[in-house]
Structure 1
């Protein structure tokens, strides 16, 4: 499917979600053409990997071997680092948040909140922190 077409990524994402549905959020995460298979141990991972590869073969979906990575202990995926200890924010993303220039307009506040909202589960008390900034984005609120 040519991804230059406007709806191609959404259509392909829908296809991948339907194909992988029995395993989504059990041991598979799919984002467009990226498939992440996670497991607690090597034996389980071998089973999960076999299930997904057989499923893709059955559906006549193919992966380019040179773009695949197997049996890796740590992976960066959608702004996160995933390893045997869990899911963590990618250190590069933390740096970009720390280095973000102070917002000077309501639009810049919305942009910043959009970035940090993606990581809200890693920020204790996020809603309290974001509340005062969110108020500054409302109409008729003076921004200094």
Structure 2
């Protein structure tokens, strides 16, 4: 779809409602947690080249993290149905991503870089053989049971030889760009104005999550021309 500036905005189809609360004032008063997310390049290099994979997805992401009772009132919001406060961590809180990643790293600490990788609620289990991958899955699922971590069965893929990880196709062949992302770019109409060129550059640059050195050359050629015409 397009926004008010007539720029293309990627959409993700949802078949359920999500409540979004404006926590900007709460976030301003919150001491920031700077726990880092994994480096995508390093994560992909550890995953690639294996014979079998399991791709698991955490159910409702942040909502699996309970909020301490003495802090629940800070999430209070009003709506036409009354006044409510969350007992579990909602999205919109500035420290939610860092807190969730820290929890996942703690839960799977002894399995990371050995048989699995974790990026937020995306868990990739891998091995060099069918039996080894099955054994690794058993370890991960047992850990989920022990910690009451719930998975979304509809988004899980079991015992496959390739799959999409953070926008890239990984397999024993190597790392490839997701064909769906290529199709998005090739389906864009040819830009006919400065605004449309800027929109195209922004949209194309946002697709790959790994560095693309060859992308800098065409964008470097066009940027001075865009500045002169702005």
Pairwise same-fold verdict (TM > 0.5): yes
Determine whether 1:126 maps to 2:215.
yes
Whether contact under 8 Å (1:89, 1:119) holds in the other structure is no
Higher RCO by CA contacts (8 Å cutoff, separation 6 or greater)? 2
State the partner residue of 1:108: 199
CA shift, 1:107, in A, is: 4.6
Cα pair 2:162 2:170 within 8 Å, conserved: yes
Gaps of 5+ in 2: 1-62, 64-87
SS of the residue corresponding to residue 61 of structure 1 reads coil
Give the TM-score of the pair, scaled to structure 2. Answer: 0.47
| Equivalent runs, 1:1-144 vs 2, <5 Å | 1=63, 2=88, 4-7=90-93, 10=97, 11-65=99-153, 67-101=155-189, 102=191, 104-105=194-195, 107-108=198-199, 111-121=202-212, 125-133=214-222, 141-143=227-229
Q: Is the 8 A contact 1:38 1:45 kept in 2?
A: yes
Question: Given that residues 125 and 136 in structure 2 are in contact (C-alpha distance below 8 angstroms), is that contact kept between their aligned partners in structure 1?
Answer: yes
Give the match's secondary structure for 1:76.
strand
* Residue 71 of structure 1: how far off its partner (Å): 1.0
Number of corresponding residues: 139
Structure with greater helix share of residues = 1
SS across alignment from 2:228: coil
Give me the TM-score of the superposition, normalised by structure 1: 0.67
Which consecutive unaligned segments of at least 5 residues does structure 1 have?
A: none
1:50-82 alpha-carbon deviations (Å, 9 max, x no partner): 232233233332324454332122323332223
Q: How far, CA to CA, are the matches of 2:188 and 2:151 in structure 1?
A: 37
Residues 185 and 204 in structure 2, CA contact (< 8 A), matched pair in contact too: no
CA RMSD of aligned residues (A): 3.3
- Determine which structure has more spread, i.e. the larger CA radius of gyration: 2
State the 4+ residue runs in structure 1 displaced beyond 6 angstroms.
Answer: none
Separation of aligned partners in 1, 2:210 and 2:228: 28
